[in-house]
Amino acid sequence: MAQDDAFANAAAQPLSVLTGLGKSLLAALEKAGFRTLVDLWFHFPLRHEDRTGILRVGELRAGVPAQFVATVDHSEVGFRRRRALLVSLGDGSGRVLLRFFHFKQAQADQLKAGARVLVYGKPRAGGYSLELVHPRYRVLGADEQPVVEDSLRPVYPQTEGLGNARLQRAVELALERLPEGDDGLLAGLLPRQWPCLADAIRSLHRPRDRRELEAITSGVHPARARLAFEELLAHHLSLRLVRQRVRSERSPVLRASGRLRRQLLATLPFTLTGAQVRVLAEIDADLGRSAPMLRLLQGDVGSGKTIVAALAALAAIESGMQAAVMAPTELLAEQHRRSFERWFAPLGIEGVWLSSRIQGKVRARALTRLAEGAPWAVGTHALMQEAVCFRALGLAIIDEQHRFGVDQRLAFAQKGGVLRPHQLVMTATPIPRTLAMTEFADLDVSVIDELPPGRKPVQTVAVSRARRDEVVQRIVDACAGGRQAYWVCTLIDESEEIEAEAAAKTASELTAALPRLRVGLVHSRLKAGERADVMRDFAAGELDLLVATTVIEVGVDVPRASLMIVENPERLGLAQLHQLRGRVGRGVEESSCVLLYQPPLSTTAHERLSVLRRTSDGFAIAERDLELRGPGEVLGTRQTGATAFRVADLTRDAGWLARVREVADRLLEQDVGAAEALVRRWVGASARYAKA
């Protein structure tokens, strides 16, 4: 442990120990969030620039960054298309053009004919020669010889108030204080060919040459492998520590006779699938223990997770406790509310509905009923507010949990009072095994991998926008038969306002083209109440066609809807397209999903649409989506649940995950303190396990 202690002690030192920083730079670093040495050690470069040599202009290649010296032949301010400073240079071996769209007159005066310039940038093919747009440059003196650098220059992620040169200087000073030696307890758990921690950190900041840089970038370098492994281990441990600390608390033992459950099952127009029965048995086993249940319930769209959640809630209610369901949107929460009311009302069990729209006397009454012991509640984030108090919360159910994150799940669990409620979290987005092992290491996993009998697969076709009129006719034919349809508009990297305008324009066009159909419109710019009203009208059959943005991705169950048109599907990932497709095929009718794409398709977009046509297996689709788009997209949005890794890449490093679990087991058995130190090293003071 000696070296671990040495690293931890050095890592925790404030930046003020770096005497060469200066007050101005120190203040800028602290404002940007750099407070200790480890913050700088683990602030790795985005890329490196090779300024260790100087090429001739004739040696430049498009797309390959390079440094060269040339003399200005001619410069002018051009106005073709947009104002730009154009500078032509040469060195006898060739000519190249510099193009500046943002410049000052002083810059134009510098770059006059005859000036010698040292330039660094990435050339691209131009009209008559290679050109560089906004390259970095320095005007040389008449007899000045350019000095090349002796190592690759790191380029760090942009940080407000800090230029790269200042940040590079700070990192260099911090690296001088890296403690040398072995890695303490962790050393015996890592492959021998991997470098020690200090050497691995230095390699990522300062690769010796381009060959080493390429090895690091491709992921095969031992230094990158070592740091990626350690980072995955730290994040895995942070969740395992959550699990340990939560499991050390007590939860109510929920052992019901099953009377209420049998009554509900007798009223259902369907029987549970084998997968639902198996998952329910796993949940019951957890509820019957005093250790808190921490279980993730996965199931593809339409697999029947909600009825499983309701049957679990009855176990809590029959045991004299309360059950609560929290969903990320009012639309989804309302659907759960309707389902619970439909199933529980015949049993004489009344619940509470709570969302941000519930205000005044109605809200006060709802809060009173919860405090007095209302058996069940359904709501949005409003259930986590400070004023909400349960008399005896025994089971907390969280739907679409990846939209909340670990901290919010833990906050909801605090509502149980002295005893921590059991926790069941659900997702309709199948999570690939590699993601589940890292993002949900604090949870046991149950999977409903069987669809209800009679559920017909949705026929999926990809159609070019050139055949849009044929697609519109399909809507007419479907609605003429008493069915309903969705038309989903998608925009990516645009504002919600522009997306809403696009949906509104499409709704207007379709209303004009289909005067006999009742057309509704839903988008994220509508107030929650207005959106819910339109959805209710569609669910009640008062609308034939619903034009919407991807806001309908989850939480809409309309059995008569049998046609889904997704416009510009190439802009979405597989998981999201699969979720949208799951909005149809919920009744007895044959259902279709039409992917109305804009040609030509990129190779990746073509592959996504092909996968969707080939399979309806959500887990297979999620695995492919992980390969194509990365973990942040598969889980929803990067800022809500997915871990942003500094070095690790789940797609590239998935092969390490089994070993990560083994090492985590060893560390937790041998030295919990070392495990916690490793988490602090990578996750920092805000480590999720600390909030358990």
DSSP result, 201-250:
HHHHHS-SSHHHHHHHHHT-SHHHHHHHHHHHHHHHHHHHHHHHHHHTS-
Residues 688 and 407 sit within 8 Å (Cβ to Cβ): yes
The three-class DSSP label of residue 505 is helix
544, two tokens = 């034939």
540, two tokens = 């009640």
Mean pLDDT of 51-62: 92
Helices 574-581, 603-614: inter-axial angle, 10-degree rounding: 40
Residue 631 pLDDT level (bands cut at 50, 70, 90): low
For residue 46, the surrounding DSSP H or E stretch is: none
Residues 396 and 408 sit within 8 Å (Cβ to Cβ): no
Question: How far apart, in whole angstroms, are the C-alpha atoms of residue 172 and residue 49?
Answer: 16
Return the CATH number of 459-615, one of 3.40.50.300, 3.40.50.1220, 3.40.50.720, 3.40.190.10. 3.40.50.300
pLDDT score for 500: 61
Q: How far is CA 502 from CA 362, 488, 490, 499, in A?
A: 37, 10, 8, 5
> Would you list the DSSP string of 276-336?
HHHHHHHHHHHHTSSSPPEEEEEE-TTS-HHHHHHHHHHHHHHTT-EEEEE-SSHHHHHHH
Question: How far apart, in whole angstroms, are the C-alpha atoms of residue 614 and residue 577?
Answer: 13
Residues 325 and 377 sit within 8 Å (Cβ to Cβ): yes
Question: How far apart, in whole angstroms, are the C-alpha atoms of residue 686 and residue 679?
Answer: 10
- Eight-class DSSP state of 90: E
- Eight-class DSSP state of 85: E
Question: How far apart, in whole angstroms, are the C-alpha atoms of residue 23 and residue 15?
Answer: 11
pLDDT score for 491: 66
- Eight-class DSSP state of 145: P
With a cut of 60, say whether residue 685 has pLDDT above it: no
Nearest CA to 465 among 603, 571, 591, 545?
Answer: 571
Question: How far apart, in whole angstroms, are the C-alpha atoms of residue 342 and residue 572?
Answer: 35
Question: How far apart, in whole angstroms, are the C-alpha atoms of residue 631 and residue 294?
Answer: 22
Question: How far apart, in whole angstroms, are the C-alpha atoms of residue 45 and residue 228?
Answer: 15
Residues 621 and 430 sit within 8 Å (Cβ to Cβ): yes
For residue 138, the surrounding DSSP H or E stretch is: strand 136-140
For residue 60, the surrounding DSSP H or E stretch is: none
pLDDT score for 184: 66
Nearest CA to 453 among 273, 279, 265, 269?
Answer: 273
Q: How many CB atoms lie within 10 A of CB 230?
A: 23
Nearest CA to 541 among 592, 482, 457, 596?
Answer: 482
681, two tokens = 């090293």
Which amino acid type is present at position 81? R
100, two tokens = 């500046």
CA atoms 227, 229, 232, 237: torsion sign: negative
pLDDT one-digit tens code per residue, 183-226: 666 777 888 889 989 999 999 999 988 888 889 888 889 999 99
Residues of the chain with CATH 3.40.50.300: 259-448, 459-615
Can you identify the CATH homologous superfamily of domain 53-140?
A: Nucleic acid-binding proteins (2.40.50.140)
Nearest CA to 565 among 470, 456, 629?
Answer: 470
Angle ∠(485,487,489) on CA atoms, nearest 5: 165
Cβ within 8 Å of residue 559, ≥6 positions away: 586, 587, 588
661, two tokens = 């679990």
Question: How far apart, in whole angstroms, are the C-alpha atoms of residue 626 and residue 202?
Answer: 30
Residues 337 and 480 sit within 8 Å (Cβ to Cβ): no
Using the structure block, give the residue that is written with the tokens 């149950």. 446
With a cut of 90, say whether residue 601 has pLDDT above it: no
- Eight-class DSSP state of 381: G
Residue 639 pLDDT level (bands cut at 50, 70, 90): very low
With a cut of 70, say whether residue 508 has pLDDT above it: yes
Phi first, then psi: what are they for 72, rounded to 5°?
-70, 125
With a cut of 60, say whether residue 230 has pLDDT above it: yes
Residues 391 and 322 sit within 8 Å (Cβ to Cβ): yes
Mean pLDDT of 109-119: 94
With a cut of 70, say whether residue 633 has pLDDT above it: no
281, two tokens = 């048995």
Residue 640 pLDDT level (bands cut at 50, 70, 90): very low
pLDDT score for 382: 87
pLDDT one-digit tens code per residue, 130-164: 999 999 999 998 889 898 888 888 999 877 778 88
Residue 463's DSSP bridge partners are 596
Residues of the chain with CATH 2.40.50.140: 53-140
> Would you list the DSSP string of 559-618?
TTEEEEEEESGGGS-HHHHHHHHTTS--SSS--EEEEEE-SSPPHHHHHHHHHHHH---H
With a cut of 60, say whether residue 575 has pLDDT above it: yes
Residues 322 and 378 sit within 8 Å (Cβ to Cβ): no
Can you identify the CATH homologous superfamily of domain 259-448?
A: P-loop containing nucleotide triphosphate hydrolases (3.40.50.300)
* CA 628, chain centre distance (Å): 14
Mean pLDDT of 100-126: 92
Residue 416 pLDDT level (bands cut at 50, 70, 90): confident
With a cut of 50, say whether residue 64 has pLDDT above it: yes
Percent of residues, the chain, with pLDDT higher than 70: 91
